[in-house]
Amino acid sequence: MKIVAKIFVLLFTVIGFSQNTYLHCGKLIDTKTGKVLTEKTIVVSENKIVSVKNGYVKPESGTVIDLKYKTVMPGLIDMHVHIESETNPKKYLEAYTLNDADVAFNSLHYAEVSLMSGFTTVRDLGGSGVNVSLRNAINQGKVVGPRIFTAEKALATTGGHADPTNGAKRSLIGNPGPKEGVVNGVEDAKKAVRQRYKNGADLIKITATGGVLSVAKSGQNPQFSIEEIRAICETANDYGFHVAAHAHGDEGMQRAIKGGVKTIEHGTLMSAETMEMMKKYDVYLVPTISAGKFVSEKAKIKGYYPEIIVPKALDIGPKIQDMFGRAYKAGVGIAFGTDAAVFYHGDNGKEFGYMVEAGMPAIESIQSATVTNAMILKMENQLGQIKEGFIADIIAVDEDPTKNISTMENVVFVMKEGKIFKNNSN
């Protein structure tokens, strides 16, 4: 009998008679249309959504998940995180005290926290390279975390935001180049992109202006020539990459847009002229309001940041939300992104509330974190919707976020690729 049973199990697996999972959804957000539907059943087989049915279907076999008193939607996509690290008062010493293994073990925790917060996909915009290995380990099912699209190491100019030796004593500065993600000139730009490809990146991130948290004086000056940016974007296109540009200052943004980037990160000092340019060139704003609010508050705590950073944080941080409101009203495309790591991983959901405060309807903020971001990642036929044939990334919250956006801060159910990672729905 045992042999017969083993043969049956083998045939069951080979032929594909896996049990389906039925999710009974009280409310279901159709992210394509922006409508909130009621009393739906999502049928999941293995890692895909096989159908969405009216009413609460009672299967003859399979697992039923009761979400009748919840609001269900696709897994969320955060287009700006740094999965390897997290803010703390000693962070600037960690470049000299943490080994790659320490960074890797820390990243496991941040990845799991991100997934449990409802973010089943993230775009990592710069780290040490551990982010590539973490992505691979998650994809292979070895560790728990969101699907990662990573830029590997962000590209900077010498002394610019993301130059890894900023703030170090002169004997340690050396002369980093394209291999380390530092660009000076068109040939360096091309080589740096190709090196990211070689290292396993999925996209390119540049620092088109100074930054708030780099150990350097300016947070807004342009730091790449337009020729360098064009060389980066043209080479990136050859390798199937899109380019994200960190930018606070307006001139740096305009160079990045003209040079061919797909997203502007932060965009703090964006002018009305630049907003029109973004629409013309089909460039999206990733606002990261959460990061701006966090750094402006922490900068008031003596010793939390190095002194050179404090005036930048107090100046730049509070301006992002207002800029976002103006950009949204002007019709600039918005892609949800938070800059998690600048604040605490897991607090990403607060960004929805900040976007709504600034004038964006709740349903549009959710669409920015689903269908819009899936499109930018060229995953619009697999992610961002609850739809037949799509990957089964599904989350649930207690309330209807179109009526109470703060519910996005407490995700109670998380399914990624058909596997349930969290279910606090009871």
Residues 214 and 233 grouped into a single domain: yes
Whether pLDDT at 2 is above 80:
no
Which one is predicted more confidently, 150 or 19? 150
> Among the residues of 91-215, which ranges form H helices?
91-97, 100-116, 130-139, 170-173, 186-199
pLDDT at 6: 45
Neighbour tally for 167: CB within 10 Å: 16
Whether pLDDT at 62 is above 70:
yes
Which one is predicted more confidently, 166 or 251? 251
Whether pLDDT at 14 is above 70:
no
Contacts 24+ apart (CB under 8 A), 315-318: 315/219, 316/212, 316/219, 316/220, 316/248, 316/268, 316/269, 316/292, 317/212, 317/291, 317/292, 317/293, 318/292, 318/293
Residues 236 and 197 grouped into a single domain: yes
Instruction: Enumerate the β-bridge partners of residue 52.
Output: 42
Whether pLDDT at 158 is above 60:
yes
Whether pLDDT at 245 is above 60:
yes
Q: Select from 296, 261, 292, 291 the least CA-distant residue to 278.
A: 261
pLDDT at 49: 98
Can you tell me the distance from the alpha carbon of 180 to that of 35, in angstroms, rounded to the nearest whole number?
46
For Cα atoms 364, 366, 367, give the angle at the middle one, nearest 5 degrees.
Answer: 60
Whether pLDDT at 348 is above 80:
yes
Whether pLDDT at 362 is above 80:
yes
Query: Mean pLDDT lowest for which of 171-175, 196-200, 401-405?
Result: 171-175
Summarize the confidence of residues 269-298 as an average pLDDT. 98
* Helix pair 250-259, 226-238: axis angle to 10 deg: 40
Residues 13 and 122 grouped into a single domain: no
Whether pLDDT at 323 is above 80:
yes
Total domains present in the chain: 2
Residues 404 and 324 grouped into a single domain: no
Give tens-digit pLDDT for 184-210: 999 999 999 999 999 999 999 999 999
Tokens of 221: 């000056």
pLDDT at 18: 67
Tokens of 398: 């207690």
Which one is predicted more confidently, 3 or 161? 161
Q: Across the chain, what does the average pLDDT equal?
A: 94
Residues 24 and 128 grouped into a single domain: no
Whether pLDDT at 26 is above 80:
yes
Write out 2-47 in H/E/C secondary structure: HHHHHHHHHHHHHHCCCCCEEEEEEEEEECCCCEEEEEEEEEEECC
Query: Mean pLDDT lowest for which of 49-53, 218-222, 416-420?
Result: 218-222
pLDDT at 9: 39
Whether pLDDT at 426 is above 60:
yes
Can you tell me the distance from the alpha carbon of 130 to that of 83, in angstroms, rounded to the nearest whole number?
9
On whether the CB atoms of residues 369 and 336 are closer than 8 A, the answer is yes
Residues 69 and 88 grouped into a single domain: no
* Helix pair 289-298, 350-357: axis angle to 10 deg: 100
Q: Measure the CA dihedral 67/69/75/78, to 10°.
A: -150
Residues 287 and 399 grouped into a single domain: no
Residues 9 and 117 grouped into a single domain: no
Tokens of 403: 């009526």
Neighbour tally for 303: CB within 10 Å: 8
Residue 171 binned pLDDT confidence (cut-offs 50, 70, 90)? confident
pLDDT at 95: 86
On whether the CB atoms of residues 81 and 126 are closer than 8 A, the answer is no
Give tens-digit pLDDT for 75-87: 999 999 999 999 9
Question: 293 in helix, strand or coil?
Answer: helix
pLDDT at 280: 98
Residues 338 and 411 grouped into a single domain: no
- H helix or E strand, kind and range, residue 424: none
Residues 26 and 162 grouped into a single domain: no
Residues 81 and 47 grouped into a single domain: no
Percentage with pLDDT > 90 across the chain: 88
* Residue linked to tokens 């609460």: 56
Domain of 123, in residue numbers? 76-376
Summarize the confidence of residues 311-336 as an average pLDDT. 96
Q: What is the pTM of this model?
A: 0.94
Can you tell me the distance from the alpha carbon of 53 to that of 42, in angstroms, rounded to the nearest whole number?
6
Summarize the confidence of residues 87-109 as an average pLDDT. 94
Can you tell me the distance from the alpha carbon of 357 to that of 321, in angstroms, rounded to the nearest whole number?
9
Query: Mean pLDDT lowest for which of 91-100, 200-209, 281-290?
Result: 91-100
Going by C-beta distance under 8 Å and a sequence separation of 6 or more, which residues neighbour residue 196? 151, 152, 153, 155, 181, 204, 241
pLDDT at 43: 98
Residues 15 and 115 grouped into a single domain: no
pLDDT at 165: 82
| Number of residues in the chain | 426
CATH number at 165 reads 3.20.20.140
Can you tell me the distance from the alpha carbon of 313 to that of 298, in angstroms, rounded to the nearest whole number?
9
* Helix pair 186-199, 226-238: axis angle to 10 deg: 30
CATH number at 8 reads 2.30.40.10
